[in-house]
Amino acid sequence: MDSSGTCQNRRSQRAKVLLAATLEVSGAQRPVKLRNLSADGALVEGDSLPIEGTNVTFRRNELNAVGRIVWVDSRYAGIAFDEKLQPEQVLRHVPAPRAKVQPRLWRPGLRQNTLTAEQRRLAESWVWAPSSANRPGEQ
């Protein structure tokens, strides 16, 4: 979880996530994206969000939290839960960070292979050795 600064007026730490969730408003369910979650509330993103002051039920898997919309700005809305969630409930919905995959950087080594007689004959036929009699442009 990130440590929110005091300048943001946060009552609890928020975990940044990107998970599917739903808001239930008057029996109708609306799909939203959960952007962050804390013990006190959540930030969601979605289309046609309810207006400020609307009572909602936030659902994410087995987590059901009753709250209200405290602010709306375009596609984003803040939800304040009526009851504070326990840390175990919050952390259960925050995925564990994945280990970074380290790229395997390598290049094939240079090695000296002996040429077969046929390979040597082909290589020698590709090499142009100028002779005084066969220079281009000269007779």
pLDDT in tens, 46-64: 988 999 999 999 998 888 8
Two structure tokens written together for 34: 């959960």
Short-list 31, 35, 2, 3, CA closest to 17 = 35
d(CA 53, CA 50): 8
Highest mean pLDDT, choosing among 67-76, 87-96, 112-121? 67-76
85's CB contacts (< 8 A; 6+ apart) are 38, 39, 40, 63, 65
- Which pLDDT belongs to residue 139? 54
pLDDT band at 116; cut points 50, 70, 90: confident
Architecture of domain 6-92: Beta Barrel (2.40)
